[in-house]
Structure 1
Amino acid sequence: MSDIYNDIEPNVIDDEMVQKAIEEQFPEDIGKIAKREGINFKDVTELQLSFRNILQIDNLWQFENLTKLQLDNNIIEKIEALESLVHLVWLDLSFNNIEVIEGLDTLVKLQDLSLSNNRISKIEHMDALQELQIFSIGKNNLTTLEDVIYLRRFKKLRTLNLTGNPLCNDEHYTLFVVAYLPDLVYLDFRLVSDTTVSVSAFPACEIGQQHLTEHLGDILQLSDALMALEMLIADQLEVRVHRVLRSAFSLTIFSTMTQCRDLENRHHEELLEISITALEKSLKNELDEDLPADVQMLLVDRTTIVNAVNTSHGIHLLKIDKRESDILSNINHWQTSVTEKAVQNEIDRNRERIREIVQYIDNLQEELDNLEIMEPIV
């Protein structure tokens, strides 16, 4: 184990860790119910395990329906044990100690992958990720522009972050990337302009000047920071929507209907006991009061009365099941409607904010370019 862990207690993902993480994702009242009733890992679609000093990925095979997994800000050295997460769409492994891209072969639905702030020196072993749309691998150890060529196989890739790698220091970096990946919309959190795409067809063209490098770097850092904050806000809003709507009602209904079934079972037991006692008294002519004719018809023998009571019990349970099904169906329709509206509102807000950020950064870039043009020739 590396010396960097001397002051850190490494962790491995276990049932206790994931149970606690899931409970923390719920509001406090729902979390208490979840803790008491238990959680079926197969029902969990999002899992956040950030900042937990995780050294090794393990014990995630139970989360077979997981679509979003956050493992950022840990001390993970190897991508492994993700084979069963075939429905994963979003994976964050940023801020770890990963050196090699591997272990992703079964994640064929993955659309968003973050490997930024690791120790990766080569882009490889990602052929199965044909649905990939967003790829962040900034601040690693990528040194050659040829690594970009590997990304040509991802036809749906629209957003790429490479900032902070040594290869970004090449004076033709932007033009090279855009030339090989002409369908990119965002590169290093900046909108790829038509001008850049056009100029990228001429690799011999020079862009920028050496004395502007520092200012360009400042603009890129500002863009990076603004985009990171916007992504954080969007993620937090998305988590709130899904956290409240997905779990609150279903857990409450489950608890309520469980109580209804318990009450019906107790009622059934007491009714059966009363009926058998009435039968015995009837046979001995010891009943204190006259019973209705339809009740007297049941007081023939033990089998008849037991069958009648059991039939009534079965009918009541079916009514409870039907009521639960109707309530859950109505809630699901309502949840779907509210979620779709909330998600669309957030998408619209996020797109507008990204446009504002991109426009602001473009304005700064334009001002810097104008300064370059106005600069006297020596």
Structure 2
Amino acid sequence: MYGEGIKARLTEENLRSVVAEQRVKGPTGHSVSQEERLEFSEVQKLDLGFKGISIIENLWEFISLTTLHLNNNCIQKLEGLSRLTNLMSLNLSFNNIMEIEGLESLKKLEELNLCNNNISVLENFDSLENLVSFNIADNNLKDLNQVMYLRKFKNLFTLNFSGNPLSEEDNYKWFVIAFFPNLKYLDYRYVKSDIKKQASDKFHIELQELNRVDLEMEKKAEASKTHQAELQLQADAFVESLNGPFLFEHMIKDDPLANQLQSVPELAAEQTLYPLIPQQKTTELCVQLFETGLVELKRRRAEVNSFFSSHSKTKAEIMQEESHLLEEFDKYFKMFKKESASTSQTLKASPNDELKKLHNHLLALEFKLIGQIEIMIQKLDAEITDLIGAFNKSAQEIFAQCRDLEDKYHQKVQGIVAATIENVEKDEDVDDLPDDVKLVFLDKETVMGALTTSHENHLLAIRDRESQLNNRTNAWKSRLVKKLKEEEVHRNRVALTDFTTYVDHYEEELHRLFNR
């Protein structure tokens, strides 16, 4: 219990008192001596029931908790639990909670008890995919259809809705059992197989419709997942939106003279603002680059996978050598201690030299590993640079062909527009042109300027896509190499720290032996 007069706050002092009390009784999940101080981060079970708590707070250090009881308190708001990611059982019964919230990070939770609260809506705990037991008896759930929210939890086999208004409906029991075929216990009672069969027959039509809807949703979800995976693959290959006419469509979007030029018979006869052949050619070039990008992605991934395979093998070999050295020294030191214990004379011999040799040998192995990994990273960098360079060169050649198509098209359109302007001025061969279009072509300077702007916009769209591809490929390579180097530096620091800790430990042991 908390100290006298302290009923509503979870202070560190109060928590320390509870942990100490439960350590003696056993519910913390650890067996420790009375004198030993148990850290909050080590506690696995914590009972805070009947403490008069109104706010859940100061539990962030209890990261190892698997079971937490907060029942029979005055809690109104679900909060302060996000760090308890290892929690498997949570009891919040007999409180004043009105809304389910703050449970998103408790993905390992299997048992959730919210009975005897003031909850009226089932919501906000979609992420609890491992939930097997849910008790929300004696709350304020009124709509029987709310139960359907729980169908997403495929592992649920225990449910309790007793004491809620919805449990008073005529078809309550049959409804729940029918739509939860894996249910074993409902409202503290075992669900027999014959009851399941009757419930299924009673809601046969509804179950068929629900299964049909579920199947459609699963298909849509799978299709969406496949689509997202495809988009991610294209992004990883740096060729998204190049497997069709997307670049072409982007080029001609918002052309200032689009409508007027389409009214010119010579251009309208080509079916689109762009001549059909350049449109097809541009798309074909993009698809060619798209397919090249996917092939190059496989090559890059093969190189990266090869690096990690070699990296793991090399590291394992060195670590095996280090482990062997440590094991041999452990044996040597145990023998030394045994011999030292058998004599009452002051020890003159010392294994300090052996310890220094061990330390130097470990450092030598670590430096050897650093050198090997550094060479491997340099090799990977060179290989990836070559692959990226070849891919970017191919892309440059393809985008250059797209620009060439655009230049040729622009020259053709310029000729047609110039001829149309001349015909409008002479009022010859322009009977098919609408009057408003004729007015546009009377302003030669404006028309030719707009045409030039259109051409420049087309070229800019091509250049932007080329720059995007080039910049992203190089940025990816730089990030990859930088990350590998940073991870290696971190690994090296950890290894050196471990060696130092190991040596320091044995130096302390030696100090005690020689000063006993």
TM-score, structure 2 length as denominator?
A: 0.38
Q: Which amino acid aligns with 2:53?
A: I
- Aligned-partner Cα distance in 2 for 1:60–1:102: 17
Q: Distance in 2 between matches of 1:110 and 1:70?
A: 13
For residues 305-334 of structure 1, what are the alpha-carbon distances to aligned partners after superposition, in whole Å with 9 as ceiling and x for unaligned? xxxxx998633769xxxxxxxxxxxxxxxx
Deviation at 1:20, TM superposition (A): 1.3
User: Using CA pairs below 8 Å that are at least 6 residues apart, which structure has the higher relative contact order?
Assistant: 1
Question: For the Cα contact (< 8 Å) 2:73–2:95, is it kept in 1?
Answer: yes
Alignment map for 1:180-199 (pairs within 5 Å) = 180-199=179-198
- For the structure 1 residues 90 and 178, does the alpha-carbon distance in structure 2 shift closer, same or farther, using more than 3 Å as the test? same
* Residue 315, structure 1, aligned to residue 510, structure 2: yes
Distance 1:189 1:110 in 2: 20
Tell which structure's C-alpha radius of gyration is larger: 2
Amino acid across the alignment from 2:180: L
Residue 14 of structure 1: how far off its partner (Å): 1.3
Is the CA contact 1:148–1:180 (under 8 Å) kept in the aligned structure 2?
Answer: no
Q: Distance in 2 between matches of 1:204 and 1:69?
A: 38
SS of residue paired to 1:160: strand
Rounded to whole Å, the distance in 1 between the matches of 2:193 and 2:506 is 75
One-letter code aligned to 1:22: V
1:16 aligns with 2:13: yes
Count of equivalent residues = 215
Moved over 2 A (4+): 26-31, 33-39, 201-205, 310-318
Normalized per residue, the structure richer in helix is: 2
| 1:66/1:87 contact within 8 Å kept | yes
Using the TM superposition, give the Cα deviation of residue 13 of structure 1 relative to its aligned residue in structure 2, in angstroms: 1.2
Distance in structure 2 (CA, Å) of the matches to 1:63 and 1:43: 7
Alignment of 1:207-218 (within 5 A): none
Q: Does the aligned pair in 2 maintain the 1:78–1:100 contact within 8 Å?
A: yes
Tell me the TM-score normalised to structure 1 length. Answer: 0.52
CA contact (8 A) 1:172 1:203 kept: no
**Is 1:114–1:135's contact at 8 Å kept on the other side of the alignment?**
yes
Q: Deviations over 1:128-152 (max 9, x none)?
A: 0000001000000011111110010
- Distance in 2, matches of 1:200 and 1:28, equals 46
Partner secondary structure for residue 173 of structure 2: helix
Separation (CA, whole Å) in 2 of partners of 1:311 and 1:113: 48
Give the gaps of 5 or more residues in structure 1: 1-7, 206-274, 276-293, 299-309, 319-378
Flag the 1:82–1:312 CA change in 2: closer, same or farther, 3 A. Answer: closer
For residues 26 and 20 of structure 1, the distance between their equivalents in structure 2, rounded to whole angstroms, comes to: 10
CA contact (8 A) 2:178 2:203 kept: no
Alpha carbons of structure 1 residues 204 and 183: separation in structure 2 relative to 1, 3 Å = closer
Distance 2:103 2:153 in 1: 15
The one-letter amino acid paired with 1:47 is L
What displacement does 1:27 show? 2.6
Secondary structure of 1:85's partner? coil
Return the alpha-carbon distance in structure 2 between the equivalents of residues 201 and 168 of structure 1: 18
Q: 1:43 to 1:174 in 2, by over 3 A?
A: same
Residue 148 of structure 2 is aligned to residue 149 of structure 1: yes
Distance 1:156 1:176 in 2: 18
Matches within 5 A, 1:355-366: none
List aligned pairs for 1:226-265, cutoff 5 A. Answer: none
Match of residue 133 from structure 2: 134
Partner of 1:347: none
- Distance change in 2, residues 1:193/1:312 (3 Å): closer
1:213 is aligned to: none
Counterpart of 1:63 in structure 2 is 62
Aligned twin of 1:94: 93
Counterpart CA distance in 1 for 2:187 and 2:506 is: 68
CA contact (8 A) 1:105 1:129 kept: yes
| Amino acid of the structure 2 residue aligned with 1:124 | E
Contact 1:95 1:115 in 2 (8 A): yes
Asked if 2 retains the 8 angstrom alpha-carbon contact of 1:87 and 1:107, the reply is yes
Letter in 1 for 2:113: S
Q: Once the two structures are superposed, what CA deviation does each residue of 1:138-177 show, in whole Å capped at 9, x if it has no partner?
A: 0000111111100100000000111111111111100000
Q: Residue 248 of structure 1 aligns with which residue?
A: none
Separation in 2, partners of 1:34, 1:42: 17
CA contact (8 A) 2:24 2:34 kept: no
Tell me: CA distance 1:72–1:183, structure 2 relative to 1, closer, same or farther (3 Å): same
